[in-house]
Structures are given as structure tokens and as C-alpha cells.
Amino acid sequence: MTTFYTGVNAADHFTKWVSESFQLLPQFSLLPFEDAAGQQITSTLQLVDEKHFCSTYFHNHRVLQHSNLTGMIHFQVGVPWGYLKKPSGAYFSWLHKNEVFINCMKFKADTLVPCGFLVGAHPAFFCRDKAEDELTCSLDLDDTPVPFQLSSRTISVPMVEGNPQKFTLQAIIVKTSTSHAGTLRERFYNLENPATAVLNYPYTGGDQFVPMIKFKEWPIQKKNSVGKNSCLYHS
């Protein structure tokens, strides 16, 4: 969860979100991020010790650049994820009004980091679950699992190395935990050539992985070219 930090302490801000979630979401309950750290919270009556409550249930909370307060939360609710993000719903309206943003994580991690993005995958017409299942197979992660997930996000690609000017594009981002980032990148580098991979993996085999960080094999100019081609493809 990320929210605009307005000077209130994290425990107070977090408690407001929890209280509103209890009020607007059916069967909402809060679980400790670390299973052995506390009990399941099923009522606002259990919100007693704010300091202990925040440290147990608002994992790794911190203030980032641009004054964003962020952290990891483990909760369950009796409605699909799409219901929470429904623009016409009361819960989404409250989130929007209070500048609170919630992203779904499919595995526990202190921090999610972007490893790279996929060129050839259209963000507007993309089934993430289907793509993640196919990539798990093509990356050979069934026996040696490395957690990852895909998300659609706007990214900035430098126009020229050393120049602050950038262009932006909507892309499918590959994310994982900090501890798994290097391993996951190596798996993506070892994928088959898209021209042949698409024969075995028709949904994602034709996509190309581009790392977020600079490598000898991926200089700024090459990323720039691939990113622009991606923009043309998406339009």
C-alpha cells in the first residue's frame, strides 16, 4: 500500500485505512505479515496498541521519495480483487479521495523491484495470469521456483546516454523480491530466441525481455530503439 505522506505518524494513517476497510469491505480481516507475529484482526475493537499494531501488520513501512509512505499489508476479504478497484465503488472512491494506492502482491517480500519489461506484450490486451503461468514453464521455474509477477506500468527510457531527456511508454513490468532479482534476470537472459520460442509458448514466446538496469549487452541506445518500437507496436 502506498499513500501520500501528510505528516501524520504511520500508525495513525494505517489505522484509518484499516478502520475504513472494515466499514466498506465485506468479511475484511487483517493478518500479520509474519505468520507467528500476531493474531488475525477481525474487528476494530482489536486495534488497541497502535505502535505494536503498526509494526506487526504494516510491514517494512517507510517514506520514499516524493513523500510517499509505503509498506506491505497482508489482508483477506470476501470479494474479488476487481471489486476493490472498481472505480464506481465506495471503497475505491475513498482510496482515491485519500490518495491511497493498493497493488496486489502474489508472494511475500520486503520490497518488490522491477527487473525489466516485455516488448511485444500489449498492456491493454494482456492476461497476466496466463502469461505468468507460461513464463513459469519457459523460465524453468517449476522445480526451482523464483517468485515473480507482471504488472502494467508507465516507464521512462532515456533518449541518449548522459542526457536527462526521456520518453515514456506503457509496458508490462517484471517484478520480484530484491533477493531474487539477479537470478530472475539470468533466467530471462537464457530464454529462447523469440522467433523460435513462440512455437512452444504462443502467448509469451514472441515477447522480448529488456532489463531495467544498464548492461554491456543492453546499452541505452539499444533500449531506446526497442522502447520506441514498442510504442509503435502498441499504437
Q: Which residues contact 44 (CB under 8 A, 6 or more apart)?
A: 18, 19, 22
Verify that 117 and 220 share a domain, yes or no: yes
Verify that 145 and 210 share a domain, yes or no: yes
Which regions of 66-219 does DSSP assign to beta strands (E)?
Answer: 68-72, 74-76, 100-101, 112-119, 149-158, 166-177, 208-211
Residue 131 lies in a domain: yes
Q: What are phi and psi of 50, to 5 degrees?
A: -60, -40
Residue 143 lies in a domain: yes
Report whether 41 contacts 29 (CB < 8 A). Answer: yes
Residue 106 lies in a domain: no
Residue 160, pLDDT score? 58
Count of structural domains within the chain: 2
Q: Measured at the alpha carbon of residue 207, what is the angle toward residues 203 and 108, in degrees to the nearest 5? A: 80
Verify that 89 and 125 share a domain, yes or no: no
Taking alpha carbons only, the member of 215, 122, 125, 100 closest to residue 169 is 122
- Boundary (domain end) residue, out of 55, 72, 101: 101
Per-residue pLDDT tens for 3-58?
554 555 788 888 889 999 999 999 999 988 877 667 888 988 887 666 678 888 88
Verify that 127 and 224 share a domain, yes or no: yes
Which domain, by its residues, includes 149? 112-234
Residue 107 lies in a domain: no
Verify that 84 and 162 share a domain, yes or no: no
Verify that 68 and 171 share a domain, yes or no: no
Verify that 21 and 76 share a domain, yes or no: yes
Residue ranges, the chain, pLDDT below 70:
1-8, 36-37, 48-51, 157-167, 213-235
Verify that 133 and 33 share a domain, yes or no: no
